[in-house]
Amino acid sequence: MENRIDQAGKKEMTARPVFIAMFVSALLAATTGFFLSSDAITSKYIASFSSLVAQIVPCVSVMAQNAIDPSRAQITWALQWTCFPIILMIWLWSGPVWSKEMKQAILKETSESSSIGKRRLVLILTVFALGSVILSDFGVVDLWSFFRGSIFYGVPSKMPLILRVPFTSNFGMALYAWFVPIAEAFCYWMFLLLVVNFKSYFYLPEPVPKS
């Protein structure tokens, strides 16, 4: 949601930079998942890079150890998790959660809502859910986490179908390696948006005085 000036001189926001970053990360996932040669994947430099990222992001090792091609999966997941902070920064730059425009958009949406009570309940539950995911990433609580890969713990054959996909083919591996860090970046961006603008979601418009 890049800030730009429209014809009226008013700032708008667009998700174009985020979509571009997602497209580039998809190209990287396809390259490492399908086109990069086995010799390149097992080279000393790529293996060292994958191992370094795996030490920082536990999810890389979790996903590689049960993949049909562990070396290819490790570099694919490692590279995609390297894109995670970049995508998050682009998201925060193009859709700054602290901006005046964002606050005004939230106030406008809240003032036009026909169910303030329901909106508040959804807000609180969403903040709690996203906060739990983030705390789990840092190991504060023991819940499912993309970063630690805990959602994929266990034997793949015993997992639900939707969690089994990245272990059944290189296509599924590359698809999930691309999607999971993006979903993680969205969780962090959304959590910050809701927390920074929490009061705005509880805004109640002043009643219009009767003439």
Rounded-to-5 percentages of helix, strand, coil across the chain: 70, 5, 25
Residue 71, CA atoms < 13 Å, CB-side half-sphere:
13
DSSP track, 60-106 = HHHHHHTSSSHHHHHHHHHHHHHHHHHHHHHHHHHS-TTSHHHHHHH
Strand, helix or coil at 164? Answer: helix
Can you tell me the distance from the alpha carbon of 41 to that of 23, in angstroms, rounded to the nearest whole number? 22
> Which residues are within 8 A (CB) of 51 and not within 5 positions of it... i.e. 6 or more apart?
74
Higher pLDDT, 181 or 5: 181
Residue 114 has a CB neighbour count (10 Å cut-off) of 6
- Of 91, 109, 106, nearest to 17 (Cα)? 91
Does residue 208 surpass a pLDDT of 70?
Answer: no
Sequence-separated (6 or more) residues with CB below 8 Å from residue 26: 178
At 138 the pLDDT is 92
CA proximity to 142, closest of 151, 53, 156, 127: 151
Q: How is the chain split into domains, by residue range?
A: 2-99+108-201
Which of residues 165 and 5 earns the better pLDDT score? 165
Contact 80, 177 (CB under 8 A): yes
Across the chain, mean pLDDT equals: 87
Taking only the tens place, the pLDDT of each residue in 68-87 is 999 999 999 999 999 999 99
Please say if the pLDDT value at position 11 is more than 80: no
Cα 62 from Cα 136, distance rounded (Å): 16
End-to-end CA distance of the chain: 41
pLDDT at position 6 over 80? no
Give the pLDDT confidence of 126-173 residue by residue, as tens digits: 999 999 999 999 989 888 899 999 999 989 989 999 999 999 999 999
Q: What angle do CA 72, 19, 132 make, to 5 degrees?
A: 75
pLDDT score at 25: 97
Task: Among 29-43, 175-189, 192-206, name the one with the lowest average pLDDT.
Answer: 192-206
